[in-house]
Structure 1
């Protein structure tokens, strides 16, 4: 249909999502940089506390449980577990506030 009443994407198919299916290479590099920044902060805090002969339980637990950026698999860096999705994974960028939350641990095998 032509003219002023032609169909547009939002009108023909409902809500038009503007989130691409995959992360771009720039988003991936920024995600890796964020992970490295967190690793750097944790190592700085633990070394500063070690100099004062102190420790904090939460930082020690973080160092035990959470892998550093170089140890993580690519699928863990860029996607998260979601039981509602077909293959149990969805892109990190589809999580609300994905730049602010640490999603380093996922269930084993997924």
Structure 2
């Protein structure tokens, strides 16, 4: 009972792996560096592919598109208010873009997916944009959907949405394999 191996409160109860409820400052520093490293890799790949196309020109067809009609905010953003959307990086991205009517009408049926649109003023399909710029579709999709480390709020860098948690947020370090998985997007308003 007494001696070198006496039981203590923290040692005798609960899980074997104790995970603190918040991240330490060195963990946050390493997380920011990981996010920046991924952003750097995406930009290096993008510039290398563009440089390769510049040296070896490929004939591509360019599609002309008309500017998209504007829609009301209730159609574009669902039930979240603009004040709620402006709190997260994904919400700010949603506020700055509008939904393309043609694309929205195509996706209402149960048929196969006909393509993703690149957000911005010249509305193009991702495959057309990638072909024109000489990059690949996955890189264009990453740049269109994922915020960079500078665009993210600290809340989104270190916590993630969890519908079972009390404040709908939990530390990103509680996600399994959190150092290898990109967790940048959270639902608008959370």
Report what 1:44 is aligned to. 44
TM-score (norm. length: structure 1): 0.88
Question: Is residue 2:19 matched to residue 1:19?
Answer: yes
Report what 2:150 is aligned to. 70
Aligned length: 108
Report what 1:109 is aligned to. 189
Q: Distance in 2 between the 1:7 and 1:46 partners?
A: 57
Q: Tell me by how many angstroms 1:3 deviates.
A: 4.0
Report what 2:128 is aligned to. none
Please list every run of 5 or more consecutive structure 1 residues that lacks an aligned counterpart in the other structure: none
Could you say what secondary structure the match of 2:150 adopts?
helix
Identify which of 132, 135, 139 aligns with 1:59: 139
Describe the superposition over 1:9-61 as per-residue Cα deviations: whole angstroms up to 9, x where unpaired: 354x4335521121011000000000000000000000001112221000001
TM-score (norm. length: structure 2): 0.53
Alignment of 1:92-103 (within 5 A): 92-103=172-183
Larger Rg: 1 or 2? 2
Q: Tell me by how many angstroms 1:8 deviates.
A: 3.2
